[in-house]
Amino acid sequence: MPCESKTQATQSNWKMNRVVNLNWSWQIRGLLSAGLIAFSLSMSCAPKAFGAAEELLPPFGFRWNDSMARVEAVLHGAKAKIVSREKKENREIWTVEGLVHPGLKRTIFTFKERSLLEVELQYEYPDRTIEWYNQRMGEIRKYFDEKYGIGKLVSRSRDTDTDVIQTLVGYQWMVGATMLELFYFSAQHDTLVYRTISVDYKAL
């Protein structure tokens, strides 16, 4: 297991806690009753070619620093639903469902000073094996490596301290004043397994 710096470890722990808080507490109930939700990660939501400033643009036609009012208006027009709004320190985080894209379960919008700062796409796939996820992560990572240069490994952890085994693997690409992150997260309790792949766009 590669050694992580203190900063990388902190980022990894925050990322895992965030995914767990958003997903696991209610997903385990969903798994008990309905099984895993469908997902198919298409490259049509991958970052577009660099603009003049060589920065990534957020998906769905948004722009960095879009106002909360504009984002909400676009979501309303797309018939997407803001299922939660959370304030954390100097940020506001929206969890959105209903944006139309194959397999997209939820999208997390983060605002700072009421301006768009981050968009995270979370995908899930039912009944897929760990081998399938490993292959899929490899394909997506290769795509981003070829487009933006070799990504940096920022997390590779496996937590077995509780009865829920949690695994987090993440890569990062810096593009001008923006950042792209790709994460695989899984949580397993006995025969119940929750897995997700997330693609995270950030303005720095």
Q: Domains (ranges, CATH) in the chain?
A: 6-42+50-203 (3.40.1000)
User: How do residues 5-62 score in pLDDT, each as one tens digit?
Assistant: 434 444 444 454 444 444 443 343 333 233 222 333 334 444 444 443 478 999 999 9
In one-letter notation, the amino acid at residue 52 is: A
Percent of the chain surpassing pLDDT 90: 64
What's the pLDDT at 189? 93
User: How do residues 108-153 score in pLDDT, each as one tens digit?
Assistant: 999 999 999 999 999 998 778 889 989 989 999 999 999 999 999 9
What's the pLDDT at 27? 41
Which residues, listed in sequence order, are joined to residue 88 by a DSSP beta bridge? 91
Are 78 and 98 in contact by the 8 Å Cβ rule? The answer is yes
**DSSP letter string, 42-106:** -GGGS-----TT-----STT--TT-BHHHHHHHHHHTT-EEEEEEEETTEEEEEEE---STTEEE
User: How do residues 73-99 score in pLDDT, each as one tens digit?
Assistant: 999 999 999 999 999 999 999 999 999
> To the nearest whole number, what is the mean pLDDT of the chain?
80
Percent of the chain surpassing pLDDT 70: 74
Distance (Å, whole) CA 33 – CA 133: 23
Provide the CA 200 distance to its chain's centre, in angstroms.
5
Are 64 and 44 in contact by the 8 Å Cβ rule? The answer is no
Q: What is the pTM of this model?
A: 0.74
Cβ burial, residue 169 (10 Å; 0-12/13-18/19+): buried
